[in-house]
């Protein structure tokens, strides 16, 4: 059993927030792979089924972002999922909007959801870092990530969510480089290239 976690805040007011792009990605993976229904489990919403031929539990923590680790730890312990079997999809302000990077372990770059998960289970899990761009001023970051994507951003957001779901089989098989490359090429093919918003330096 693998564990795919989407990070976000629960409740209708947060649905369209940049901070909730992890939720969006994992919800689309479930839809694309015919997995459901979602049920209340592990302090959140969960469903399980095959992704790319691999059995997976998909989890949306029902705690707020800074307590995400409670839900992840409960699910991981229940199924005895090792750290290298856990993949977390989350927003990343230090990547340009629409860019995706995959890494295992490393820093949390001030992300409260990652901080909580690392505190509960350790640090060496896989992260799918989904770039949402940077507001340009660190004092504006909280407002920025808790704001909805602008209408002008919805094109790349919808394209990226579809592409992530299309290629989820690669990530569950541990083909991280192929996953990141295919996502990049597919975004370029849809017209969302290197300069899509944001400041890579954060």
Is the preceding omega at residue 37 within 30 degrees of 0, hence cis?
yes
Nearest-angstrom CA–CA distance, 41 and 148: 27
List residues bridging with 129 in a β-sheet.
90, 101
CA separation for the pair 175, 185 (Å, rounded): 16
Extract the tokens encoding 123.
């640090």
Smallest CA-to-CA distance from 112 within 129, 95, 135, 90 is with 90
- 90 counts as catalytic: no
Q: Which of 19, 33, 90, 134 is catalytic?
A: 19
Give me the active site residues, please: 19
């Amino acid at each position: 059993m693998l564990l795919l976690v989407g990070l976000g805040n629960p409740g209708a007011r947060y649905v369209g927030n940049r901070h909730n792009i992890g939720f969006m990605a994992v919800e689309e993976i479930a839809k694309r792979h015919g997995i459901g229904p979602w049920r209340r489990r592990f302090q959140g919403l969960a469903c399980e089924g095959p992704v790319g031929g691999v059995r997976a539990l998909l989890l949306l923590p029902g705690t707020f972002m800074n307590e995400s680790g409670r839900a992840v730890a409960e699910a991981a312990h229940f199924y005895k999922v090792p750290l290298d079997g856990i993949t977390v999809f989350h927003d990343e302000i230090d990547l340009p909007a629409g860019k995706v990077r995959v890494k295992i372990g490393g820093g949390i770059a001030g992300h409260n959801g990652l901080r909580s998960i690392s505190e509960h289970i350790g640090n060496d899990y896989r992260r799918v870092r989904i770039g949402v761009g940077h507001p340009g001023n660190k004092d504006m970051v909280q407002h920025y990530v808790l704001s909805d994507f602008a209408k002008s951003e919805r094109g790349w957001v919808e394209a990226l969510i579809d592409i992530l779901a299309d290629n989820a089989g690669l990530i569950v098989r541990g083909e991280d480089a192929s996953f990141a490359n295919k996502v990049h090429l597919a975004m370029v093919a849809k017209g969302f290239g290197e300069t899509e918003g944001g400041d890579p330096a954060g």
